[in-house]
Structure 1
Amino acid sequence: MPAMPTILLAEDESAIAETVLYALRADGYAVEHVLLGGAVLPRLARGGIDLVILDVGLPDCSGFEVCRELRAVSAVPVVFLTARSDEIDRVLGLELGADDYMAKPFSLRELVARVRARLRRHEGGQAQRKGRFEVDAAACRISYAGHALDMTRYEHALLTELLRRPGAILSRAQLLDRVWQAALESGERTVDTHVKTLRAKLRAVTPERDPIRTHRGLGYSIDVD
């Protein structure tokens, strides 16, 4: 039988976490629990997470910020839990890429139903083939010519951005804005450095090919064929 989906719950209130964990496990899901927003991306990077339930009011950082960074590297479904029910917060969460939003207190039965619906909609759309590349957004994994790439967070986000529109030229400023949006101290040399390390990893797979193209004075593009 296929394995049930695995859900990552980021919630620091123990009473809420315990009830959510119980309800989801009773419905057959595997659930992992973290207390801090900073633990979400490292766990996601290891793969195997099918949906994230994210509390907005985490103790180390805002759930909104976690979602913004998560969306730079993954399309895994995100459901927000929050004590704030203002329309502006719901709109902000959805604009940042969340798939659903539930205000506390909430019905556990409704939460489980929404999780089930989001997973059902996301099924089958996890892996996309683009020429020699295969992108598994939910698992935060990209393969090239049949080889899974071992990349840093920013290398992964950079390659993901280039692969959104193969052949399109993205300037250093565009890549900085889309990939390093949370790192205000980064400059255009940061883009060049990461392109260099990413290029080396791709050429280690196909020494005869360099899929990343440099366009002098303009930026970078990627050839997927």
Structure 2
Amino acid sequence: MTKVLVVDDEPSLVRTLSINLRARDYQVEHAFDGRSALQSIAEDCPDVIVLDLGLPDIDGVEVIRRVRATSEVPIIVLSARHDSDDKVEALDCGADDYVTKPFGMDELLARVRAAVRRHTPATSHAPAIHTPDFALDFAERIAIRDGVQVRLTPTEWHFLEALAVQPGHLVTQADLLREVWGAGYEKETHYLRVYAGGLRRKLEPDPAHPRYLVTDPGIGYRLLTGTTERRPQH
């Protein structure tokens, strides 16, 4: 049974979420502040975290940072903060998804299902990638840069896999969003910018001038290797 940790300081919202999730056969735990959430994550190992940013003790973004230091568990932010900077900061720190309040229950449940699906290992159709700077083994989900293993989240692996199926070929923004996050995400192009930036920091020798994960501005992304044509980054 999939275990969901709901972290929010609004008891009525926690109760509503718990009822709806349990009705769909999820096991639900809850925490009303950041410290309790971090303790529950360490002890109970949830499969998905639904996290409010406005917690009474530790800011939700800091909770994301601390979780990502040790865990790849999917994190869905649930917040009243609508500012795009807040969304980018949460995603940049390792959140997998961002839902603003008020929200529809069906939408949130769909995003929980999508997070579980991304976290579940599947047979990869992407070939192993070897470049002068890093190597990616999609079957084993192992990333090596300069001889050191790099931690990638399940969403980051899905992002790279969608590009690596045909190295060097353009994958449009809409196709990449559907492949990684699912239907209904086609307009969330900021997700792509944030995740591409994070992957460049982890893999590229010079993230500001990427050689491998390149953008066709306004169109999509390509993953280049040592055997594919290098295209300029605009």
Question: What TM-score does the superposition give when structure 1 sets the normalisation length?
Answer: 0.54
Aligned-residue sequence identity (percent) comes to 43
* Structure with max Cα Rg: 1
The answer on 1:12 being equivalent to 2:9 is yes
Counterpart of 2:10 in structure 1: which amino acid? E
* 1:199 aligned residue: none
Deviation at 1:75, TM superposition (A): 0.3
Q: Which residue of 2 aligns with 1:57?
A: 54
Deviation of residue 121 (structure 1)?
Answer: 1.2
Look up the match of 2:169. none
Equivalent AA in structure 2 for residue 29 of structure 1: Y
Work out the CA distance in 2 between the residues paired with 1:25 and 1:47.
17
1:41 positional shift: 2.1
Query: Does residue 76 of the first structure (1) align with residue 73 of the second (2)?
Result: yes
Task: Pick one of 97, 106, 111 that aligns with 2:108.
Answer: 111
- CA separation in 1, counterparts of 2:85 and 2:45? 32
Residue type of the alignment partner of 1:66: V
Describe the SS at the equivalent of 1:46: helix
CA distance in 1, matches of 2:36, 2:92: 22
Q: Deviations over 1:136-168 (max 9, x none)?
A: xxxxxxxxxxxxxxxxxxxxxxxxxxx974884
* SS of match in other structure, 1:18: helix
**Pairing 1:93–2:123 present:** no
Inter-partner Cα distance in structure 2 for 1:124 and 1:109:
25
Partner of 1:203: none
Distance 1:99 1:169, change over 3 A: closer
Tell me: CA distance 1:19–1:6, structure 2 relative to 1, closer, same or farther (3 Å). same
TM-superposed CA distance for 1:57, in Å, is 0.2
> Which residue of 64, 67, 71 maps to 2:64?
67
Distance 1:38 1:96 in 2: 18
The correspondence for 2:35, drawn from 18, 33, 38, is 38
Q: Which amino acid aligns with 2:39?
A: P
Distance 1:46 1:16 in 2: 24
Deviation at 1:43, TM superposition (A): 1.6
Cα distance in 2 between the residues matched to 1:83 and 1:169: 39
Distance 2:77 2:45 in 1: 20
Gaps of at least 5 residues in structure 2 are: 123-141, 150-234
RMSD: 2.0
TM-score by length of 2: 0.52
Residue deviations 1:55-100 (CA, integer Å, cap 9, x gap): 0000011000000111000000000011111111111111010000
Once residues 48 and 74 of structure 2 are traced to their aligned partners in structure 1, the CA distance between those partners, rounded to angstroms, is: 5
| Gap runs ≥5 in structure 1 | 126-162, 171-225
The structure-2 alpha-carbon separation of the partners of 1:124 and 1:105, relative to structure 1 and needing over 3 Å to count, comes to same
Shift of 1:40: 1.9
Q: 1:47 & 1:166 partners in 2: Cα distance?
A: 31
Q: Distance in 2 between matches of 1:71 and 1:19?
A: 27
Q: Which deviations, in whole Å up to 9, do the C-alpha atoms of 1:108-144 show, x marking residues without a partner?
A: 111011001110111127xxxxxxxxxxxxxxxxxxx
Q: SS of 2:30's equivalent?
A: strand
1:1-225 equivalences under 5 Å are 4-124=1-121, 165=144, 168=147
CA distance in 1, matches of 2:9, 2:44: 22
